[in-house]
Amino acid sequence: MPRFFTRLLLALILAALVAVSIVLWTSPDPTYKLQSWLAGSRYSRYDDLIVDLAHKRGVDPLLIKAIVWRESAFQTEKVGTSGERGLMQVGEAAARDWAQAQKIETFVPTDLFDPKTNLDAGAWYFKKALTRWRLKSDPIPFALAEYNAGHVRMERWISLTGRGDEATTEDLLKAIDFPTTRKYVVDITARYHFYQRNPPF
């Protein structure tokens, strides 16, 4: 009898592994699917907030979700190497600009660990960058580079293209001399397109 149960258990485990393999094999992005499984509900826990606050700031929620995925893997308590905090890894200076614009006098940097505060501040700051580059045929890569590395570096990179206002996304990516920022732009753009093809909400 024990041998029967052992065989049954092994058969069930094998069937589960086959099922998981099939799901991963047929998934448009197996690595992402596996990461989302391992993260439990974390990858979708903030979807409603992302949608609400992205719409409030006039940004595509799929793009905000792609930024959150790349910045923090949906971890609210993450702290970056330069002190950036929360889901969208908002820096202190950007957060203070947001708080001042919203007339929030009680803001302290630890407020950025609150998902709603972080997403609102991050979406607001990203929208500023999108607006600055709105005349580009595709302002998203320019806004992403600025969100990651700051406006001063963006101006330097635009200057390095030698094309000024005519600089394209390709020109920008060639001019970015921070490999991490270049990868950041490419990664988020790809994830954004993935979400467009496979809407998470």
CB 71 within 8 A of CB 196: no
Q: Is the pTM of this model over 0.85?
A: yes
The single residue listed with the structure tokens 């806004």 is 143
Instruction: Tell me which residue of 115, 118, 109 sits closest to 82, measured CA to CA.
Output: 109
Please name the CATH architecture into which domain 39-197 falls.
Orthogonal Bundle (1.10)
Q: pLDDT tens for the chain, 201 residues: list them.
A: 577 777 777 777 776 666 556 656 666 788 898 888 888 899 999 999 999 999 999 999 999 999 999 999 999 999 999 999 999 999 999 999 999 999 999 999 999 999 999 999 999 999 999 999 999 999 999 999 999 999 999 999 999 999 999 999 999 999 999 999 999 999 999 999 999 999 999
The full set of domain ranges for the chain reads: 1-28, 39-197
